[in-house]
Amino acid sequence: MVPPSSSMDPSPPPSWFTPKRLLIIFCVINMINYVDRGAIASNGVNGSSETCDDKGICKSGSGIQGEFDLTNFQDGLLSSAFMVGLLVASPIFASLAKSYNPFRLIGVGLSVWTLSVAGCASAFSFWFIAICRMLVGVGEASFISLAAPFIDDNAPVSQKTAWLAMFYMCIPTGIALGYVYGGYVGGHFHWRYAFWGEALLMLPFAVFGFLVKPLQLKGFSPVESKRALASVETVSSVTDVADSKASKLDGRMLVGGDGIIGDELSKTSKSESIHNILNQLSRFAKDMKVLLVDKVYVVNVFGYIAYNFVIGAYSYWGPKAGYNIYHMKSADMLFGGVTIVCGILGTISGGFILDRMGATISNAFILLSGATFLGAISCFSAFCLRSLYGFIVLFAVGELLVFATQAPVNYVCLHCVRPSLRPLSMAISTVSIHIFGDVPSSPLVGILQDHINNWRDTALILTSILFLAAGIWFIGVFLHAVDKSNDGSQPVSTPRITSRKPLLDGNVDESLCEV
């Protein structure tokens, strides 16, 4: 019988680590990630190469490019190295989330990020800093793949998209702060101090990822239970093998038994490792197949690729196009200011609007297609105008509408798949929009401009791709979309694991005891 006093035990006090604080912490981490992206692109950190005039008078270079005497090609490789690390590691971290605690994986990623940024600060050659930039991308990959599912799990039901909007609002804000931060630190001190500052800012969050009690994602079973079960299975298998050998060797087991058991244990351990790797690859292949045959997911990502193709080219070529079309004196500041303001307001507005409409996949597609279509009309009309002020007004309205898609498109990625596939869904979405979207868009638009030699026509052709994105997302309105975020039919679990409670409700892990 249970002692009467046990039933009277008071419930544990609520944890300080509430869902709102989780959102704030993740937003700050996301901000620091994108501050780094803006800082390395700033003039103060990136710098310039040495230049010489006709008289042979040379002006020394500045920043990374000047210190290591980099060509523009080598300087561009630093950005590519970061993207390689990000794109390769994102699916890996998403897959590892099924075997290791996702919250701990974020801690690992942030630790790699912190050490790599510190490596950039102490770099002694081009190849060293290029490798460090690639590892920075690896570190960020864990956070990008796993943070959004944690936010979605803990957000209030009526504010899920709004919380995602606040998280993704940190992207344009962080990049803008990175420009200012990198320019100030690099201009007044030294470019290396900018990276040291970022590493110090991120270090407490990397430590936090290991100190706090690990949280669980919905659809994932406790890692401790898996390890316990795996240990039981391993011991059982080794015991069975040892018993089998004993029956065959009879008395000889007494002479060399320890060696035989040791050999069998070593062989079994190796076979278990190989078996686990093969299981990981097999599971990844099956999960990828599930994503690729999901029409809702595929349509959403295709629309996102077309959208990101335009946004990526806008961010790179927009100031130059504005300068040549409208002869702007400060095109960088104008385009940057419009993008920052519209990015923040548009992203937050998109999340709140979808929540007010009713956060469903069908409504998300309606908002995605409608906002993108209206935004395309505004941006297209802006580039048709001859007046600079008319262009600024229409382009601002267009960007406001276009940025309203950030929260809904990620909402669909999270809710069109079952919980255990959400990290991989976010990872593959990130990989796709970069590989097929903003990475090739800038050089392709450059080739187009070289061919037609008219920035207005180039801008209009580029903007027209937004109509394609709106059309693809409009197809999603007519698809049979089921919200699978609460689908527990195929959890990643060990035998006899009970259903999970929300992550931050102080739930106690009893599955280990059951195993």
Q: What is the DSSP string of 339-391?
A: HHHHHHHHHHHHHHHHHHH---HHHHHHHHHHHHHHHHHHHHHHHH-S-HHHH
* CATH, range 287-481: 1.20.1250.20
Higher pLDDT, 397 or 247: 397
**Closest among 477, 290, 215 to 368, alpha carbons compared:** 477
**Is it the case that residue 499 has pLDDT exceeding 70?**
no
The confidence score (pLDDT) of residue 55 equals 66
pLDDT digits (tens, 9 = 90+) for 377-430: 999 999 998 888 888 889 989 989 999 998 899 899 988 888 888 888 888 888
Dihedrals φ, ψ of 504, to 5°?
-105, 25
Domains 17-50+61-220 and 287-481 share a fold: yes
Dihedrals φ, ψ of 48, to 5°?
-150, 160
The confidence score (pLDDT) of residue 270 equals 66
DSSP characters for 458-503? HHHHHHHHHHHHHHHHHHHHTS-----TT--SS-B--TTPPPPPPT
Three-state DSSP at 422 gives helix
Band of pLDDT at residue 202, cut at 50, 70 and 90: very high
Cα torsion at 384, 388, 391, 392 (round to 10°)?
170
**Is it the case that residue 242 has pLDDT exceeding 70?**
no
DSSP characters for 229-264? HHHHHHHHHHHHHHHHHHHHHTTHHHHHHHHHHHHH
The confidence score (pLDDT) of residue 367 equals 94
Q: Which CATH class is domain 17-50+61-220?
A: mainly alpha
**Closest among 370, 400, 385, 380 to 464, alpha carbons compared:** 380
Domain ranges within the chain, ordered by starting residue: 17-50+61-220, 287-481
**Is it the case that residue 98 has pLDDT exceeding 60?**
yes
